[in-house]
Amino acid sequence: MSLEAWTTVAAVGTFVVITITAIAAFIQLHHLRASNQLSAMLKLLELEQSSALEDRFHFVRTQLAAKMRDPDFQASLGERPIDRTLHPERHIIAWFEHIGAWMKNGLIDEAAYLEYASPIIIQYWTLLAPTVQRIRRTRDVWLLEDFEYLAARAERWLATHPHGNYPKNTPRMGPVDSSDREP
């Protein structure tokens, strides 16, 4: 075999090795990203179930609407900074604001999070929208837009999955209530 043939074989071999290495690196990066996404989701779930945050979620569900009828309470939302001991709902707004920002920037997987949390997000957006509107009156209108973005994406997810996201090619395990069936 001539020297040129050996050079060609070596070049092709080098190309093949580099291609295989690049493919392996791409697969490894994909797995690393999936692992990071899973870690982020698990941490979110852990924090969401913490007693401090649960107490604040409870406040929003059970006391905020009555508090918002108090003009002094509403006025205190205009203070800078907002007293979070008086306004525990502000912690929940910040919670959803962070998640919205992370989702918008691709740091958490939108489809996976929204499949789990869309009803919860919509519930709390509905409960907190008057507070968000009141805060925006004394600040920039774009404030808390990442919470709004999160709620809009959750609403869209629910609209595009009106019967959930159960795989169509997987049989159901037990009796299915007639309201669970597609029309």
Q: How far is residue 175's CA from residue 132's CA, in Å, rounded to a whole number?
A: 42
- pLDDT given at position 180: 52
The pLDDT tens digits for 80-111 are 888 888 999 999 999 999 999 989 988 888 99
Are 53 and 95 within 8 A, CB to CB?
A: yes
Residue with tokens 């920037």: 105
Q: How far is residue 68's CA from residue 74's CA, in Å, rounded to a whole number?
A: 6
Paired tokens of 131: 């507070």
- pLDDT given at position 177: 67
- pLDDT given at position 82: 84
Provide the Cα torsion 94, 97, 99, 103; round to 10°: -170
Give the rounded percent of residues in the chain with a pLDDT score beyond 90: 40
The pLDDT tens digits for 117-139 are 999 999 999 999 999 998 888 88
* Between 178 and 29, the higher pLDDT residue: 29
Q: How far is residue 82's CA from residue 171's CA, in Å, rounded to a whole number?
A: 51
Model pTM?
0.73
Find the mean pLDDT for residues 48-75: 90
Three-state DSSP state, 164: strand
Q: Which of 3, 115, 130 is nearest to 60 (CA)?
A: 130
Across the chain, mean pLDDT equals 86
Are 98 and 47 within 8 A, CB to CB?
A: no
Q: How far is residue 51's CA from residue 66's CA, in Å, rounded to a whole number?
A: 23
- pLDDT given at position 176: 65
The pLDDT tens digits for 150-182 are 999 999 999 999 888 888 889 888 776 656 555
- pLDDT given at position 179: 60
- pLDDT given at position 155: 96
The string of DSSP codes covering 95-129 is HHHHHHHHHHTTSS-HHHHHHHHHHHHHHHHHHHH
Strands (E) in the chain, as ranges, are none
- Does the pLDDT value for residue 74 go beyond 70? yes
DSSP state of 178: G
